[in-house]
Amino acid sequence: MILFLSSAVFGQRLVKMLPDTLRFCSDDSSAYIELKHDFEKNAIIYWNTPSTNVSNVKKLKVSKESGRYRLRVISAQSTFRDSTYVKMYTKPNLNLRDTVLCKGQSFLLDAKNTGARYEWNTRENTQKIKIENSGRYWVKINNKGCSIVDTVRIKFLQNAVAAFNNEVTFCLNEENKALSVKANTAGKISWNTGATSPNIIATKEGWYWVKTETKECGVQTDSVKVKLKACECEMLIPNSFTPNEDNRNDYFLPVAQCEYLWYSLTISDRWGNVVFTSNNVNAKWDGRFKGNLCPEDIYVYHIESTEKGTDKKLVRNGHISLFR
């Protein structure tokens, strides 16, 4: 930083050539005081600094410590004197680190450097901010004009989610008696059957439990009671689907094994809002509502049917887990 000084008043001994105060950052390589006045060639310039004395230079390098800088110029006309106080400010120091956390946790991001001014990309101006969502965050720290910018990425991982309720009933002749859990790819999965995969097939009645373990979310457990029953006119209803357009399990589609005089399928979200309805027995839900993707969640299905030939009316209610 180069400062240009005001003109001297010749013929006087006390001349204002330097500002009262100068401010610099301690790591500023361009911190100079430059005397811009033109004295005669034989004029002698003396600088008295906090650390040393310097002669016959018009451009003076500022040292890293604060203090009084005194100037004396001796010319044939007179001796001129002036001084300025130099304040050195420390540049903020910060090294934010990328962090991975479990979803649902909160995290205080600390910019440290107490007493400085802060400007976050979240429009907050405090030293610490609370982070609850994944994203890229940056902060600008300013200490009396000395500033730095640092950036960090925060990622929240989804905890394990079981694709079943406390109790589930399958028909004896149902082939796909699947129990599923969605866990982080880096986590461990353990079923009481000895399986370690996200999906298992229930082979008998009883309790099934699953344990998932990740570094970020720790150990989580869940359990379900499986019941089996003999079904007459069966309808196979999946308990989960993954509408991610990979051509595998992309639709929720109840499979009827009977003919019906009347059929109605209604799917609602957890707040009771209808997201899909149809009277077509072959209708399938693609996980969208009015063309927009529905979020991952557990939805409620309601099926009413009247069997052809027996006029038997049945109502089926249950839950369907949507994963992407």
Residue 278 belongs to a domain = yes
Last residue of a domain, one of 195, 210, 231: 231
Residue 63 belongs to a domain = yes
Give me the residue label for tokens 């990328």.
98
| Same-domain status, 204 and 242 | no
Per-residue model confidence (pLDDT) at position 9: 41
Q: How far apart are CA 243 and CA 234, in angstroms?
A: 25
Residue 111 belongs to a domain = yes
The residues facing 153 across adjacent strands are: 136
CA angle 249, 252, 256 (to 5 degrees): 110
Last residue of a domain, one of 141, 157, 173: 157
Q: Whole-number mean pLDDT of the chain?
A: 87
Which tokens sit at 32? 């100079």
| Same-domain status, 164 and 151 | no
Query: Residue 211: which domain range?
Result: 159-231
Check: CB of residue 157 under 8 Å from CB of residue 218: no
| Same-domain status, 221 and 236 | no
Check: CB of residue 306 under 8 Å from CB of residue 312: yes
* Residue among 272, 297, 302, 273 nearest 287 (CA): 297
Range 51-72 average pLDDT = 90
Per-residue model confidence (pLDDT) at position 4: 36
Q: How far apart are CA 3 and CA 59, in angstroms?
A: 10
Per-residue model confidence (pLDDT) at position 64: 81
Q: Which of 96-110, 167-181, 204-218, 283-297 has the lowest mean pLDDT?
A: 167-181
> What do you get for the CA distance between the two ends of the chain, in Å?
56
| Same-domain status, 133 and 174 | no
Per-residue model confidence (pLDDT) at position 206: 94
Last residue of a domain, one of 89, 112, 142: 89
Residue 9 belongs to a domain = yes
Q: How far apart are CA 208 and CA 226, in angstroms?
A: 7
DSSP 45-66: EEEE-SS-EEES-SEEE--SS-
Residue 94 belongs to a domain = no
* Residue among 258, 235, 237, 266 nearest 311 (CA): 258
| Same-domain status, 308 and 256 | yes
| Same-domain status, 84 and 8 | yes
Query: Residue 174 gets which letter from DSSP?
Result: -
| Same-domain status, 164 and 116 | no
| Same-domain status, 218 and 282 | no
Which CATH number belongs to the domain containing residue 320 in this structure? 2.60.40.1220
Instruction: Using the Cα atoms of residue 142, residue 148, residue 149 and residue 155 in order, give the sign of their dihedral.
Output: negative
Query: How many contiguous H segments (helices) and E segments (strands) does the chain have?
Result: 0, 30
**Residue 184 confidence (pLDDT) above 80:** no
Residue 66 belongs to a domain = yes
| Same-domain status, 237 and 178 | no
Which CATH number belongs to the domain containing residue 11 in this structure? 2.60.40.10
**Residue 6 confidence (pLDDT) above 80:** no
Q: How many domains does the chain have?
A: 4
Per-residue model confidence (pLDDT) at position 225: 93
